Amino acid sequence: MKKRIIGFALGAVLLALCVSAQTEAGQRELQRLTVGFTPISGAALPFFIAVEEKLFHKHGIEVSPVFMGGSPLINSAILAGEFPIGYTAGGAVLSSRLSGSDLIVIGSPLPVLAIDAWARPDIKSVSDVKGKRIGVTRFGASTHFSGLTMLDSAGIKPNEVVFIQNGGVGESLAALLGGRVDVSMLGYPFGLNARKAGFKLLFQPSKTDYGLFPTAAVAARESWLKDAKNRRLAVDFLRALHEALQLIKEGPTATKRALKKFTRVEDEALLQGSFEFYREVYPITLRTPEKAMANALKFLDHPKAKQADVKQSFDNSLVEEAMR
């Protein structure tokens, strides 16, 4: 009997050690991944939700989010080897490729231009914007492209206005509130803050022919993706984002929680309004529409833009693999 008890005790100890070793192994299996992202608004909602709801953990990734004020900065950091994947903008990726980089879009969480123009009440129409100051995050970012579509809709040339770089969407709202710009290109919930402060919704590209546009995109280097291990990591990253898209459609809980944490907006009406807006504009898939990339290409001031093959700027095969 004594030998049997000792045997049971030794077995229990060995089992505990085995479980502990498996747990540590499981923890080691989480791949650490730094991801540069922009903006701090609803345009990054799937990324915020995937972080907050631990969807990346579910797929074996420990993500460290790093905010960078504008897609061009993120793309430069990827090319410099600071991190391999960025939550950026498709237009900026196109611009980078035209300049010779091997950046490629591997998923489009938001292929709709969901950045609106908010203006001083005395600005009655887009035609009145000529000669005015327009707030954007950075040149080459989606806010800049949104401003260009607004000008194009009224036949105004970019050199007939003054674009002001503010570094972030919150900073663009502050510039509008402080009178440093006449118009600001804002995503939600910041657009709702502008409305609450008495500013006018001047232009909404999502309601026009300019609407299909790669506002948010996941990008990586083609050379990095050639390694099978890296490709698997990218596919798992996309799996988590795909699940986050579904949560946006299912209800407000995850959306509001993520927005509250990352944008620091506490107002329930603003959070609810943002959820209702984004539930309608977000797609059900991360596939990149060719037309969205083609629309972005139209607004690139680059000598190679007219001859560029837009199909070479994105790869949907990783999304398709992630959705299997």
Would you state the pLDDT for residue 245?
Answer: 96
Would you state the pLDDT for residue 311?
Answer: 95
Would you state the pLDDT for residue 153?
Answer: 94
One domain for residues 96 and 125: no
| 4 assigned to some structural domain | no
Would you state the pLDDT for residue 37?
Answer: 97
Q: What is the C-alpha separation between 137 and 168, in angstroms, rounded?
A: 5
One domain for residues 50 and 193: no
* Nearest alpha-carbon partner for 96 in 184, 192, 214: 214
The pLDDT of 64-88, averaged and rounded, is: 95
Domain that holds residue 237: 30-112+212-322
Would you state the pLDDT for residue 28?
Answer: 52
* Nearest alpha-carbon partner for 245 in 55, 65, 81: 55
For residue 169, what are the contacts with CB-CB under 8 A and spacing of at least 6?
A: 39, 40, 41, 137, 143, 186, 187, 190
Would you state the pLDDT for residue 54?
Answer: 97
Would you state the pLDDT for residue 320?
Answer: 97
For residue 292, what are the contacts with CB-CB under 8 A and spacing of at least 6?
A: 90, 108, 111, 112, 212, 213, 214
- Of 207, 230, 246, the domain-final residue: 207
Q: What is the C-alpha separation between 18 and 189, in angstroms, rounded?
A: 49
Would you state the pLDDT for residue 253?
Answer: 94
For residue 301, what are the contacts with CB-CB under 8 A and spacing of at least 6?
A: none
One domain for residues 224 and 318: yes
What's this model's pTM, rounded to 2 decimal places? 0.81
One domain for residues 152 and 293: no
Residue 198 has pLDDT above 90, yes or no: yes
The pLDDT of 214-243, averaged and rounded, is: 97
Q: Which two tokens stand for residue 189?
A: 């919930």
The residue count for the chain: 324
Strands 183-186, 61-67: pairing is unpaired
| 55 assigned to some structural domain | yes
| 16 assigned to some structural domain | no
% pLDDT > 70, the chain: 91
More confident residue, 8 or 66: 66
One domain for residues 91 and 227: yes
To 10 degrees, the CA torsion angle through 213, 148, 209, 155?
A: -160
Three-state DSSP at 324 gives coil
| 242 assigned to some structural domain | yes
% pLDDT > 90, the chain: 78
What CATH number is attached to the domain comprising 237? 3.40.190.10
Residue 21 has pLDDT above 60, yes or no: no
- Of 207, 235, 263, the domain-final residue: 207
One domain for residues 241 and 307: yes
Would you state the pLDDT for residue 18?
Answer: 44
Residue 25 has pLDDT above 70, yes or no: no
Would you state the pLDDT for residue 211?
Answer: 86
Would you state the pLDDT for residue 57?
Answer: 97
Strands 85-88, 116-119: pairing is unpaired
One domain for residues 104 and 120: no
Residue 317 has pLDDT above 90, yes or no: yes
| 24 assigned to some structural domain | no
Sign of CA dihedral 260, 263, 266, 267: negative
Residue 26 has pLDDT above 60, yes or no: no
One domain for residues 158 and 306: no
Write the CA distances from 17 to 8, 10, 24, 29, integer angstroms: 14, 11, 10, 18
Is 181 in contact with 256 (CB distance < 8 Å)?
no
Number of domains in the chain: 2
Is 205 in contact with 213 (CB distance < 8 Å)?
yes
Would you state the pLDDT for residue 7?
Answer: 47
Give the Cβ contact number of residue 21 at 10 Å.
10
- Of 175, 207, 239, the domain-final residue: 207
More confident residue, 115 or 29: 115
One domain for residues 230 and 318: yes
Would you state the pLDDT for residue 287?
Answer: 97
The pLDDT of 40-53, averaged and rounded, is: 95
One domain for residues 140 and 287: no
Sign of CA dihedral 149, 155, 157, 162: negative
One domain for residues 173 and 288: no
The pLDDT of 251-267, averaged and rounded, is: 93
